[in-house]
Chain A
Amino acid sequence: MNANSIPAGRAGPGDGIPTPPPKIRHRGDARLYRAITIALLAIAVMAPVGLIIYQSFLDGPFFSPRSTLGLSAYGYVLTDPMFWEALWTTTVFAFGMVAIAVPLGGLLAFLLTRTDIRLKRTLEILVLVPMFISSIVLAFGYTVSVGPSGFVSMWMRSVLGFVPWNLYSLPGIILIAGLSHVPHVYLYVSAAMRNLPSDLEEAARTVGASIWQVSRDVTLPMVLPALIFAAALNLLLGFETFGIPLVLGDPNGILVLTTYIYKLTTLFGVPTYQLMAVVAVVLILITLPLVFFQRRLLRNSRRYAALGGKGARATPLKLGARGQAIALSIIGFWLFVSVILPIGGITVRAFVSAWGQGINLWDHLTLANFDRMLSVPSLSRGIVNTLLLSVLGGAAAVFLYLLIGLAGHRNTGHSNTVLDYIVLLPRALPGLVVGLAFFWVFLFVPFLTPLRPTLIALFVAYMIVGLSYGLRLLQGTLIQVAPELEESARTTGATIGRTWRDVVIPIVRPGLAGAWALIMIIFLRDYATGVYLMGAGTEVIGSLMVTLLQTGAMDTIAALAFISIIMTAAGLTLALRLGAKIHD
């Protein structure tokens, strides 16, 4: 009787059929929802990316009827010595950044997770601060504090007779970028270290190894996957960095790929979108393998972390009095350099009209820089818009990321692999280029044109730029819901939609609040995405700073940067209040 149920050509039941017959999926799987959500997301991501790739194969703007298909843009860029110089500088920059950020971030993670260092709880938050400051703000801040005429440099000169550093050199820029990216490394490595059982370290200590030997011989090899992951991430960020080279590298002719793109806007007088697109494609080709490599690593490291087990209780290693002093001063010095110096610089600059050699800052104290915020409509609008975008837009983005996260939640189909790759794609592109592509999308896609002069256009671009970070936050939260909690709702009679609404979402709600605060900060600090996209009525602080840099209105830039820092600080406080898991 059973023979009937076996598809023709297959062996009888229970005879070890080599390949399984096709799945019969039931309809209660929200497959339609998953498919639609992933398809919509794919369109939102592929539209700008596709446009850029298409543009790169034209010899003029894609919207010009005179443009023809060809490889001339590639020909120009690939034979331009400036491009190769920029590529080389970018590579040196990215690897230099990794060389600074990874060891320091690893050390910091070790000290804060595996030892009994004092002030641990405070430090855990403080060390993340540089990550939340927009790099363009950092760069402005550094010029005022440690630039050739910066107040710290002047003090140095009065003590030593010379200034022992040059902020505007490639090593100077690499150092600053490296220091400001330490938190990115710390985050991943500390997460891995927290999961390590401490008995191995204890065993090593009992046989007489010093704390440094333990960290080198025991801890380091075990967190190597996390370190490699963080290195790959920083390499990626290094290739896409824009703010620091724009402000600190440009005057001395230090050009990286992103500033090379920016320069192509002016080089020919008229826009050379095709050349910009080519460089963007080159960036994609460089970063995409990195992104995929990261994805593999992440999978492996998850497996690895699962092996480590959760219950592993870590007994901190004892640093001892001297160890404490050394560790705290390393962290203190790093915080001084990467937080106090730039924020101090920006704060000073925001409240004076002139600074530098032979100028007494007290004589030039002023609030005039802030007066402008009120009197110039575009600036006050910029502040309001930035608030709207980060607070409301951040909430809306979290909601969308949640919908996307649910579409991928316990999804076993192929669409999930598609989703994974779609999410990673925008990460391979600098925000500047994503913003430009969305400007075109909103200009040329008929039913979208009414949205272009609204904040919605910016919101969509921000949403896509923040996609991979935001979705990972949400997925991390969703995965914490035990599968039986959902299954029990299903067997009790709830559809998958009801299950999400009645069980999954209520359980992850605290996590959503934290994610909202973090996305808010990400949107707050963004400066590149809006450069091409914003218009009258849709100004945002970050991109205003970039465009103001064209006219060089430093007073205004400083005031905006200061406001941006205040807003970020408020966001961070809120995030901590809401119990955001910054450490995940």
Chain B
Amino acid sequence: MTELIVENVQKWLGGLQILKGASLSAERGSIMALLGASGSGKTTLLRCIAGLEQPEIGHIRIGDKVALDSEKRIQLPPEQRNIGLVFQSYALWPHRTVKENVGYGLKLRGVNAAETGKRIQHILDRLGLGHLADRYPSQLSGGQQQRVAICRALVYEPRVLLLDEPLSNLDAKLREEARYWIRKLILDLEICAILVTHDQTEALAAADHILLLENGRIVQDGSPHDIYTNPTSFYAADFLGANNIARGKVLTLNGNEVLLGGDGWQLNGAVRDPAGLAPGADAQAVIRVERVRVLPEPGAGRIEMQLDDSLYLGDRWEYRLRRGDFALKAHGAHSLPAGRVYADIPPEHVWVFPGQAA
């Protein structure tokens, strides 16, 4: 069931357009991640959905309510949108206890005291906070605060749960755990959730669907797997994963197959975005680090390269390779001596995009 429809939302800040027509629709029981670099407009889009920012143009429908309609000049204030928002800083009210923080939404909705108490206790217990109900936020750890913030946003069963970088203030270990239980919670409760993040791992692991934003525009959307393995733009390819970038010129172009070359190197690849690609044109290729194999001996399709160094990363080794102005990173299980090596780079994993010169 579709809970949220956003169509062509445009927003200006002063003379600057920071959202250039974003559209999306989100389902119940699924998590949609808004992923992008800082300044891509992902948080602005979230705040537009929440009603905290007022876009000049667009339509937003939450559940069965029109929250924004720029032609009819409808713009619902946040409190009428029936959403829950978890802030990056958690934004717990310092003068209220955990119980009062969580219960505020119920109080505003006129739920009676007995019912309120029951529901607060239920959700707190569920998130393992039952024993902290009477504490003040300042007496809680960061992870506990974050869980209180989620309880507060969920307890009144909003149509849409919005999460603004909810994990960024947690340390690395807690973050991995939270990623898991938040996803489980949302799926169990069958809520429609929108998660804003700049962390690709978070988006890949937690979301059912990812929207990738660049400069106020949605550049790609799809499942995590789809986005990771089938990027349609250089930005999308480069934003996700750990990558090698090869910049050179198109030497030959044959349908989908392309030969890219630079100072002392040539590389076979597959065209991902044909716009502007022609022999002699600038082009750039994205190669996922995990797709490169480094071998001590030559073989079919392998490129001879110079190994400068092997770095020990604990679970594996990282190799730094070079040929002319083409630098390459790769991983392997063993340390290799510096010197001549051979890199195996499957052409279908050399994603070629037009060069950035334009």
Residues of B within 8 A of A372 (CB): none
Instruction: For B52, give the chain A residue with the smallest CB separation.
Output: A487
Contact with B along A486-517 (1 / 0, CB 8 A): 01111111111010001100110000000000
Given A23-B56, A492-B108: A487 and B87 within 8 A (CB)? yes
Residues of A within 8 A of B269 (CB): none
Partner of A26, one of B21, B71, B77, B149: B77
A84 nearest CB across to chain B (Å)? 48
Residues of B within 8 A of A490 (CB): 51-52, 77-79
Q: How far is the CA of A531 from the CA of B50 in the complex (A)?
A: 54
Residues of B within 8 A of A488 (CB): 85, 87, 91-93, 149, 152
A28 nearest CB across to chain B (Å)? 2
Residues of B within 8 A of A22 (CB): 56
A13 touches B10 (CB 8 A): yes
Q: How far is the CA of A17 from the CA of B19 in the complex (A)?
A: 11
Q: How far is the CA of A482 from the CA of B105 in the complex (A)?
A: 19
B20 touches A485 (CB 8 A): no
B75 touches A26 (CB 8 A): yes
Interface residues of B in 3-28 (CB under 8 A from A): 7-8, 10, 12, 15, 17, 20-21, 23
B217 nearest CB across to chain A (Å)? 6
Residues of A within 8 A of B169 (CB): none
B91 touches A24 (CB 8 A): no
B21 nearest CB across to chain A (Å)? 4
Residues of B within 8 A of A24 (CB): 54, 56, 68, 70, 73-75
Q: How far is the CA of A493 from the CA of B216 in the complex (A)?
A: 28
B54 touches A14 (CB 8 A): no
Residues of A within 8 A of B56 (CB): 20-24
Interface residues on B, range: 35 or more
Residues of B within 8 A of A496 (CB): 77
Given A5-B8, A5-B57, A22-B56: A487 and B78 within 8 A (CB)? yes
Q: How far is the CA of A25 from the CA of B51 in the complex (A)?
A: 10
Partner of B217, one of A14, A493, A495: A14
Contact with B along A1-29 (1 / 0, CB 8 A): 11011100000011011111111111111
B60 nearest CB across to chain A (Å)? 12
Partner of B20, one of A4, A13, A23, A484: A13
Instruction: For A491, give the chain B residue with the smallest CB separation.
Output: B85
A25 touches B54 (CB 8 A): yes
A2 touches B79 (CB 8 A): no
Contact with B along A449-491 (1 / 0, CB 8 A): 0000000000000000000000000000000001011011111
B95 touches A492 (CB 8 A): no
B94 nearest CB across to chain A (Å)? 7
Partner of A17, one of B17, B89, B92: B17
Instruction: For A26, give the chain B residue with the smallest CB separation.
Output: B75
Residues of A within 8 A of B152 (CB): 488, 492
Given A2-B8, A6-B57: A484 and B87 within 8 A (CB)? yes
Q: How far is the CA of A85 from the CA of B72 in the complex (A)?
A: 65
**Any chain A CB within 8 A of the CB of B76?**
yes
By secondary structure, the B interface counts as: mixed
**Any chain A CB within 8 A of the CB of B250?**
no
A492 touches B57 (CB 8 A): no
Q: How far is the CA of A4 from the CA of B21 in the complex (A)?
A: 13
Q: How far is the CA of A496 from the CA of B51 in the complex (A)?
A: 13
Q: How far is the CA of A493 from the CA of B58 in the complex (A)?
A: 23
A26 touches B57 (CB 8 A): no
A28 touches B77 (CB 8 A): yes
Residues of B within 8 A of A5 (CB): 7-8, 57-59, 70-71
B89 touches A482 (CB 8 A): yes
A74 nearest CB across to chain B (Å)? 43
Given A6-B57, A502-B104: A491 and B78 within 8 A (CB)? yes
B21 touches A491 (CB 8 A): no
Interface residues of B in 54-110 (CB under 8 A from A): 54, 56-59, 68, 70-71, 73-85, 87-89, 91-95, 104-105, 108-109
Residues of B within 8 A of A21 (CB): 56-57, 70
A435 nearest CB across to chain B (Å)? 40
Instruction: For A16, give the chain B residue with the smallest CB separation.
Output: B17
Partner of A28, one of B17, B80, B88: B80
Residues of B within 8 A of A493 (CB): 79, 82, 105, 108-109, 156
**Any chain A CB within 8 A of the CB of B292?**
no
Partner of B76, one of A1, A26, A485: A26
Instruction: For A490, give the chain B residue with the smallest CB separation.
Output: B78
Given A5-B71, A20-B12, A498-B108: A507 and B93 within 8 A (CB)? yes
Q: How far is the CA of A496 from the CA of B216 in the complex (A)?
A: 29
Given A5-B71, A506-B95: A23 and B54 within 8 A (CB)? yes
**Any chain A CB within 8 A of the CB of B286?**
no
A residues in contact (CB < 8 Å) with B: 1-2, 4-6, 13-14, 16-29, 482, 484-485, 487-496, 498, 502-503, 506-507
11 example contacts (A-B, Cβ-Cβ < 8 A) are as follows: A5-B57, A13-B57, A14-B217, A20-B56, A23-B56, A25-B75, A484-B87, A487-B87, A488-B149, A491-B84, A493-B156
12 further A-B pairs in the complex, CB-CB below 8 A; given A16-B20, A26-B75, A490-B78: A2-B7, A5-B7, A14-B21, A25-B75, A28-B51, A28-B77, A484-B89, A491-B78, A494-B79, A498-B79, A502-B104, A506-B95
The 6 closest A-B pairs by CB, nearest first: A28-B77, A20-B12, A484-B91, A14-B20, A13-B21, A26-B75
